[in-house]
Structure 1
Amino acid sequence: MAKPLSNAKSGPAKRSAWVYRAPAAPPLSDLFKDAERRRTAFRYHVTGNLKNLLDLAVHFGLKAVPASLCSAAGARLGTFVIPRWHRSSVKKAQKNLKRLLPDATEEERDRVLKRSWQNQGRIMTEFSIVGRLARRAVWHGLHHFTEAYARGPVIVVCMHLGNWEIFAPKLVELGLAPSANYTPPAGRARAWIARRVRRKLGYGLLPPGKDGVRPALNILKEGGAISVFCDEGFAGKIRGPFFDRPPQLEGNLAVVVRLARLTQATICPCYVLRSNGTSFEGFTLEPIVLPPEDKPGERLMDDVVLLNSVIEPVIRAHLDQWYFLDNAL
Structure 2
Amino acid sequence: MKERERHTAATKRQAWVYTAPSAPPLADLFAGGDRRQKALRYHVSGNFKNLFDLAVHFGLKAMPSDWCSAAGAWLGTFAIPRWYAKGVKKARNNLKRLLPNASEAERAAILRRSWQNQGRMMTEFSIVRRLAETPGRVVWHGMDNFVEAHKRGPVIVACLHLGNWELLAPKLVSLGLAPSANYTPPAGRAQAWIARRARLKVGYGLLPPGKDGIRPAINILKDGGVISVFCDEGFAGKIRGPFFGRKPHLEGNLAVVVRLARLTGATICPCYVLRNEGARFEAFALTPLTLPPKDTSASIIDDVGLLNSIIEPIVRANLDQWYFLDNAL
Confirm or deny: 8 A CA contact 2:273 2:283 kept in the other structure: yes
Secondary structure at the aligned position of 1:22 is classed as coil
Name the aligned partner's letter for residue 302 of structure 2: D
Aligned ranges for residues 142-221 of structure 1 at < 5 Å?
A: 142-221=143-222
Separation of aligned partners in 2, 1:75 and 1:118: 4
Aligned ranges for residues 69-148 of structure 1 at < 5 Å?
A: 69-135=67-133, 136-148=137-149
Superposition deviation, residue 98 in structure 1: 0.2
Confirm or deny: 8 A CA contact 2:155 2:226 kept in the other structure: yes
CA distance change for structure 1 residues 149 and 8 in 2, over 3 Å: closer, same or farther? farther
Separation of aligned partners in 1, 2:36 and 2:299: 54
1:28 matched to 2:26? The reply is yes
Superposition deviation, residue 11 in structure 1: 3.8
Name the aligned partner's letter for residue 305 of structure 1: G
Separation of aligned partners in 2, 1:8 and 1:174: 44
> Identity of aligned pairs, percent?
73
CA distance change for structure 1 residues 9 and 243 in 2, over 3 Å: closer, same or farther? closer
Separation of aligned partners in 1, 2:156 and 2:172: 12
What is aligned with 1:304? 304
CA displacement 1:258-300 (0-9 Å, x = unmatched): 10011110000000000010101000111100000134x9431
Separation of aligned partners in 1, 2:12 and 2:326: 24
Confirm or deny: 8 A CA contact 2:11 2:300 kept in the other structure: no
**Superposition RMSD on alpha carbons, in Å?**
1.3
Alignment match of 1:47 (pick from 45, 48, 54)? 45
More helix by share: 2
Aligned ranges for residues 274-313 of structure 1 at < 5 Å?
A: 274-295=275-296, 298-313=298-313
Structure 1, gaps ≥5 residues long:
1-6
Deviates more, 1:95-104 or 1:32-41: 32-41
CA distance change for structure 1 residues 191 and 201 in 2, over 3 Å: closer, same or farther? same
Superposition deviation, residue 10 in structure 1: 2.8
Superposition deviation, residue 186 in structure 1: 1.2
Name the aligned partner's letter for residue 56 of structure 1: L
What is aligned with 2:64? 66
Moved over 3 A (4+): none
Superposition deviation, residue 34 in structure 1: 1.4
CA displacement 1:92-122 (0-9 Å, x = unmatched): 0000000000110000000000000000000
Secondary structure at the aligned position of 1:325 is classed as helix
CA displacement 1:56-88 (0-9 Å, x = unmatched): 000011111000000000000000000000000
Separation of aligned partners in 1, 2:157 and 2:13: 25
What is aligned with 2:316? 316
Superposition deviation, residue 159 in structure 1: 0.1
CA displacement 1:127-165 (0-9 Å, x = unmatched): 100011112211000111010000000000000000000
Question: How high is the TM-score relative to the length of structure 2?
Answer: 0.96
Separation of aligned partners in 2, 1:8 and 1:91: 34
Name the aligned partner's letter for residue 142 of structure 1: M
Superposition deviation, residue 9 in structure 1: 7.3
Separation of aligned partners in 2, 1:225 and 1:197: 19
Confirm or deny: 8 A CA contact 2:180 2:226 kept in the other structure: yes
Secondary structure at the aligned position of 1:12 is classed as helix
Superposition deviation, residue 13 in structure 1: 6.6
Confirm or deny: 8 A CA contact 2:11 2:301 kept in the other structure: no
Separation of aligned partners in 2, 1:244 and 1:9: 19
Name the aligned partner's letter for residue 275 of structure 1: N
Question: How high is the TM-score relative to the length of structure 1?
Answer: 0.96
Separation of aligned partners in 1, 2:174 and 2:159: 17
What is aligned with 1:234? 235
Secondary structure at the aligned position of 1:112 is classed as helix
CA distance change for structure 1 residues 262 and 190 in 2, over 3 Å: closer, same or farther? same
CA distance change for structure 1 residues 129 and 76 in 2, over 3 Å: closer, same or farther? same
Separation of aligned partners in 2, 1:150 and 1:13: 32
Structure 2, gaps ≥5 residues long:
none
Confirm or deny: 8 A CA contact 2:182 2:209 kept in the other structure: yes
Q: How many residues align?
A: 322
Separation of aligned partners in 2, 1:9 and 1:16: 15
Separation of aligned partners in 1, 2:159 and 2:255: 15
